Copies of this chain bind each other. A is one copy, B any other.
Amino acid sequence: MVIKIDEYSDVPIYMQIRNQIVMGISSGELASGEQLPTVRSLALEMGINTMTVSKTYQILKNEGYITTDRKNGARVRAEIKQSGVISEENKAELRRIVSEARLSGVSKNDIKNLIDEYY
């Protein structure tokens, strides 16, 4: 899986990587149980510091998306806990996006088509 950093983005690097890995898991590009690159190799590959990648992995681990151990490195977690709900933060973000889309003249159906595309 290719991870790309937008150096001009306001989103911190560790969060950009986190987001792309989450999307990779969701899309199936990263399979359940699949090995992730080591902290060092990913850092080297992306030209960033190991601490930054380490922070990403710790967040993903905390969120229950991956598991890490010193022996095997990081892996996509076999059984990701399903809360069954969208977080309040994400709901607020979704509402903001929908509002902006509406003001830009985007139809409700156009948004729903994007949902279909991304889901």
Residue ranges of A at the interface with B (Cβ–Cβ < 8 Å): 7-8, 19, 22-23, 25-27, 62, 65, 67, 69, 77, 80, 82-87, 90-91, 93-106, 108, 110-112, 114-116, 118-119
Contact = CB atoms under 8 A, between A and B. Distances in A.
Given A86-B111, A94-B94, 10 more contacts: A82-B103, A84-B105, A86-B104, A86-B106, A90-B97, A94-B115, A95-B118, A97-B97, A98-B119, A108-B115
Nearest to A104: B83
Contact of A119 (B62, B65, B87, B102): B102
B67 A103 contact: no
Given A7-B67, A99-B27, A111 B115 contact: yes
A90 B100 contact: yes
Give me the 9 closest cross-chain CB pairs, A-B, nearest first. Answer: A82-B105, A26-B99, A98-B118, A23-B99, A95-B118, A108-B119, A90-B97, A83-B104, A84-B105
Contacts of A90: 97, 100-101
Contact of A26 (B85, B86, B100, B118): B100
